[in-house]
Amino acid sequence: MKIMVVGTGYVGLVTGTCLADLGNSVTCIDSNPDKLAVLKTCKSPFYEPGLDERLKRNVDAGRLNFSESLKDSFSETGVFFNAVGTPPMESGESDLSYVYAVVNEFFKTYKELGCTDFKVLITKSTVPVGTGSEIEAIRNSHGITEDQVAILSNPEFLREGTAIYDFFHPDRIVIGSSSEKALDIVQELYGPLYRNETPIVRTSIQTSELSKYASNAFLATKISFINEMANLCELTGADVSDISKIMGMDGRIGKYFLHPGPGYGGSCFPKDTKALVYLAKQLGYNLNVVAAVEDVNESQKKRVMSHVLDYFDNDIAGKTFALLGISFKPNTDDVREASSLTIIDLLLKQGAIVKAFDPEVKSLAQFEDNQNFSIVSDSYEAAELSDAIILVTEWNTFRELDLERLKSSMNKPSLFFDLRNVYSPEKLRDAGFETYVIGRKLLSSSQKITQNG
């Protein structure tokens, strides 16, 4: 099949490359010339495990190419994926201007080139329910019928860091449209996956759009829930890692997304929960649970840092912190809405010095002018002459640290704030650290942790 994917971000580039891997001929479009320049050297502009090799393989095989213009090979293409960003606005509403710019360009091109053949315009970006109907209205206003261009929603559920695996082994594929013909074409496109047991759900465009937000909001709810349990563990002496295990053994609950931490980040959960609350409010309905999930997430970032500030009696000016992990989760270089940003900002504003290390993030534009901030080349360099380590992102490399070596070059007393529950408090204590492990052990029994952090 001849396919076009517009937007070569985490979703568009992975989708385009993997569809090419399935034997399709794919053109990926992006309006950013810098990204295109990198792509044309057969490299991904961002870090995603396994993507570079797959990208090169498909370019070499002639199945994958890149362009800045939708017009290139438009006529002979039957299936178009719109995978541009939908970033949050101040109000929480999703900014759909990129999505509609592509939609308008698509219909303009269809008319200009005098096309009459059947094409499917798929929205892969996460868009609020109602967007598909709006796109249909735009199509109609151009005098184009559903027999010429069908609109279909196909939300993406992949996770950065395991995006390629997720493309080939999705839990489900959701396609929503009022056009049976479009649903058949897209179902066929995903044939190699659903013939491999992946369930495919055919539904309405509205249900498909909302299913993405409902799923993300529920996952975010699990995270905020376990973070609150971790906070309660700290007040009661219970151990959140056992609580997670015990809860996860219940098949009705499931073991995933029950790991406490410094709040969720990334380009999806914060944006999608806010957009869902906003949408409901516009319709006169308060989504109380999801709104509370967001509130808990915001306060969690501050609460974990309150332990650090408490230890130093709120005076961290001149203290040096080794920050391990910047990306919002392991195996990606994505820092959008990462909790590390809030933590670094708080430390710097209070006059502390931050030496950060991340296996993939090598610069942070927003802090590069601050002399107290640097990104160093490994964990041991970060720890040197620091007063405390803060483990923010649970990259595998941080699970294997030589704790004795880390501690040996630090100032005394050496503190270890494990915000991801990677180490047991006993293991850190045996290595000579004073420790805080989220939901497991406080720095010392004399320290008072208040309910709201």
Ligand X SMILES: NC(=O)c1ccc[n+]([C@@H]2O[C@H](COP(=O)([O-])OP(=O)(O)OC[C@H]3O[C@@H](n4cnc5c(N)ncnc54)[C@H](O)[C@@H]3O)[C@@H](O)[C@H]2O)c1
- Interface residues with ligand X (CB under 6 A) are 6-12, 29-32, 35, 83-86, 98, 101-102, 125-126, 156, 158, 160, 267-268
How far does CA 277 lie from the centroid of its chain? Answer: 19
Burial label for 430, CB within 10 Å (0-12, 13-18, 19+), is exposed
How near is the Cβ of 11 to ligand X at its closest, in Å?
4
Read off the tokens for 154: 């196909």
How near is the Cβ of 125 to ligand X at its closest, in Å?
3
State whether residue 298 is helix, strand or coil.
helix
418: nearest Cα among 384, 443, 449, 452: 443
Does the annotation count 233 as an active-site position? no
How near is the Cβ of 32 to ligand X at its closest, in Å?
4
Closest CB to ligand X among residues 21, 334? 334
How near is the Cβ of 120 to ligand X at its closest, in Å?
18
Give DSSP secondary structure letters for 78-93. -EEEE----PBPTTS-
- Exactly one of 18, 28, 233, 268 is catalytic; which is it? 268
CA–CA separation, 188 and 146 (whole Å): 19
Strand partners, 174: 201
State whether residue 321 is helix, strand or coil.
strand
How near is the Cβ of 34 to ligand X at its closest, in Å?
9
Closest CB to ligand X among residues 8, 227? 8
How near is the Cβ of 268 to ligand X at its closest, in Å?
5
Closest CB to ligand X among residues 158, 422? 158
Closest CB to ligand X among residues 105, 184? 105
What stretches of 83-232 adopt beta strand conformation (E)?
Answer: 119-123, 149-153, 173-176, 200-203
Closest CB to ligand X among residues 208, 267? 267
Alpha helices in 237-284 (DSSP H): 240-248, 269-282
The residue whose Cβ lies closest to ligand X is: 9
Amino acid at 418: D
* 130: Cα within 13 Å, side-chain hemisphere: 9
Read off the tokens for 274: 């806010």
How near is the Cβ of 12 to ligand X at its closest, in Å?
6
How near is the Cβ of 143 to ligand X at its closest, in Å?
23
- Tell me 146's DSSP state: T
302, 227 contact by CB (below 8 A)? no
42, 56 contact by CB (below 8 A)? yes
- Residue environment code for 205-215, b if the CB has 16+ CB neighbours within 10 A, otherwise e: beebbbbbbeb
Closest CB to ligand X among residues 98, 311? 98
CA–CA separation, 363 and 448 (whole Å): 36
- Residue environment code for 320-352, b if the CB has 16+ CB neighbours within 10 A, otherwise e: bbbbbbbbbbbbbbbbbbbbbbbbbebbbebeb
Read off the tokens for 278: 């906003």
Closest CB to ligand X among residues 125, 224? 125
Closest CB to ligand X among residues 109, 424? 109
Torsion-angle region of residue 314: left (phi > 0), alpha (psi -120 to 50) or beta?
A: left
State whether residue 286 is helix, strand or coil.
coil
Q: Which residues are catalytic?
A: 268
